[in-house]
Amino acid sequence: MAGLLPSDALFLGFDSSTQSLKATVLDGNLIIIHSESVHFDTELPHYRTKDGVYRDPSGNGRIVSPTLMWVEALDVLLEKLKSKVDYGKVVAISGSGQQHGSVYWNKRGKAILTSLDPKKPLRSQLEDAFSVRDSPIWMDSSTTSQCRELEKAVGGALELSKLTGSRAYERYTGPQIRKIYQTQPDVYNDTERISLVSSFVASILIGNYASIDETDGAGMNLMDIKQRVWSKTILEATAPGLEEKLGHLAPAHAVAGLISSYFVERFHFQKSCIVIQWSGDNPNSLAGLTLNTPGDLAISLGTSDTVFGITSEPQPSLEGHVFPNPVDPNCYMVMLVYKNGSLTREDVRNRCAESSWDTFNKYLERTPSLNGGKLGFYYKEHEILPPLPVGFHRYVLENVDSLNETKVLEVQEFDPPSEVRAIIEGQFLSMRGHAERFGMPTPPNRIIATGGASKNESILKSIASIFGCPVYTVQRPDSASLGAALRAAHGWLCNKEGRFVPISCLYGDKLDKTSMSAKLAFPAGDADLLSKYTVLVNKRMQIEKNLVEKLGRS
């Protein structure tokens, strides 16, 4: 670290998320020196968003956010930060954007972007730059027919996943673009450039259209993930003349451009400050949690549970996502999203453990590993992974200790302590099974657990036993903007060296002296137990397959 980054330099990372715009500033020793945020609903109330979005009241699944709100948030955030941070010391900026959301620049867009007047705020100047006023975002679910059309164009959902890293999803940008082309052809024709939220804010910072980066670009169903180029077949199936409107792709560590004179004159950034490609929020979190080597895995336990990891041999299939790794172009990032996370754990706690985490943890400690063969599937919400409707399913595997000749019995209920263990083991067995299926090695090198439930020691212990690797914890709510600041430093170093440099060179073995340190919570579990869990994972995946065949959504 010492010597690689100038000690007096600053690195600025943004996160343009659904509900707020955040910033994290790192110094040359990778210590956070400042954080700031603008909360959309409360600080920009004139847009009248709820949770940063507009939900179509007709119930058609359309969910959008006002594009100009994101612009004004940048005005406000930079004003808020300027008395606290010496912008003249910032040598590189990068950022994170909510994934999949899209911005439509009209034919005047580029001219407006390249001639911003530093005497005026951004918002009033960008008012006439867009062909679509409200941007579709990741929560939108109004494009099912476009999804099926794109899958059909390449021979089915699995084929699309193998080509682009994911089957078609309503929130993905390709289906969203197709819907605009089909329902508002004039608007589509008036569109000069389509940005993702990430490349959109980068465009404002460089005063020109910024490329979409290869990692966030994989969240569109439009990019060939192996070649990292737009897939001509899918572009043709989406909308005419699309390639020109998307521009070129760039690796996430590349320089998008120099900061524009607007920011140099208005906020006194130095002219040589570079903007590193922005990327999606999940990829930036991966960077912020310091995942950097194939076999590294992170589990974020929140309202929804998210698993992401690094692999050099991804195997895209029907559930889950593969993106190029944002910090190493030689490998990939795998991401799994579960809708049933903490609310479903809380439901079991309320029903079976007197609404108390203490009782819940006591039950978890009191019940044996493998739960005497009791396996549960708990879907309080329609689940994404696997695609199953609301419902609870409980099974008992006989002879759980030998496990080879197991008979499986379906039962109606478990005693309360077993129910507690069944939901915890079930969630992690599923994560392990699906992560392996997507090409993650077993055991992982290490797991970094984050999010609300990662404070729970009993849960962390189960993760260490089921995955058979050490579990570390990181309690930081802003891993996306921190990851963006770290990627700014990484991009700055790659640019200085004139070649790709592994991101770990930034911190080497001194990670614990930086703001990215993680705490060892549990060492790897016992090897004998791990091999029993391996058999249990396979049994669970078989039962899950049967459930999907019987009840699943296509």
Least separation in angstroms between CB 18 and ligand XUL: 6
Q: Taking CB under 6 A as the rule, does residue 378 contact ligand XUL?
A: no
Q: Which of residues 89-118 bind ligand XUL (CB under 6 A)?
A: 98-100
In this complex, which beta carbon is closest to ligand XUL, that of residue 167 or of residue 349?
167
Q: Taking CB under 6 A as the rule, does residue 22 contact ligand XUL?
A: no
Least separation in angstroms between CB 141 and ligand XUL: 11
Lookup: tokens for 244: 């020109």
In this complex, which beta carbon is closest to ligand XUL, that of residue 18 or of residue 462?
18
| DSSP bridge pairs for 334 | 309, 322
Lookup: tokens for 111: 């001219």
- Tokens 């478990």 — which residue? 414
Q: Which of residues 405-444 bind ligand XUL (CB under 6 A)?
A: none
Q: Which of residues 213-232 bind ligand XUL (CB under 6 A)?
A: none
SS3 call for 87: helix
Least separation in angstroms between CB 373 and ligand XUL: 35
| DSSP bridge pairs for 26 | 11, 32
Q: Give the up-direction half-sphere exposure of residue 196: CA atoms within 13 A in the CB hemisphere.
A: 35
Q: Phi/psi of residue 441, each to 5°?
A: -70, 155
Least separation in angstroms between CB 171 and ligand XUL: 5
Least separation in angstroms between CB 306 and ligand XUL: 7
| DSSP bridge pairs for 155 | none
Least separation in angstroms between CB 21 and ligand XUL: 13
CA–CA separation, 94 and 198 (whole Å)? 9
- Tell me whether strands 212-213 and 249-250 are parallel, antiparallel or unpaired: parallel
CA–CA separation, 127 and 131 (whole Å)? 10
Q: What DSSP character marks residue 468?
A: T
- Tell me whether strands 54-55 and 408-411 are parallel, antiparallel or unpaired: unpaired
In this complex, which beta carbon is closest to ligand XUL, that of residue 50 or of residue 519?
50
Nearest to 408 by CA among 536, 229, 246: 536
Binding mask 57-96 for ligand XUL (x = CB under 6 A): ----------------------------------------
Q: Which of residues 241-280 bind ligand XUL (CB under 6 A)?
A: 280
Residue of 22, 62, 167, 171 that binds ligand XUL (CB under 6 A):
171
Residue of 143, 199, 231, 282 that binds ligand XUL (CB under 6 A):
282
Residue of 27, 281, 296, 305 that binds ligand XUL (CB under 6 A):
281
Q: Taking CB under 6 A as the rule, does residue 138 contact ligand XUL?
A: yes
Q: How many residues of this chain interact with ligand XUL, rule: CB under 6 A?
A: 10
CA–CA separation, 131 and 190 (whole Å)? 6
Q: What DSSP character marks residue 348?
A: H
Binding site for ligand XUL (CB under 6 A): 17-18, 98-100, 138, 171, 280-282
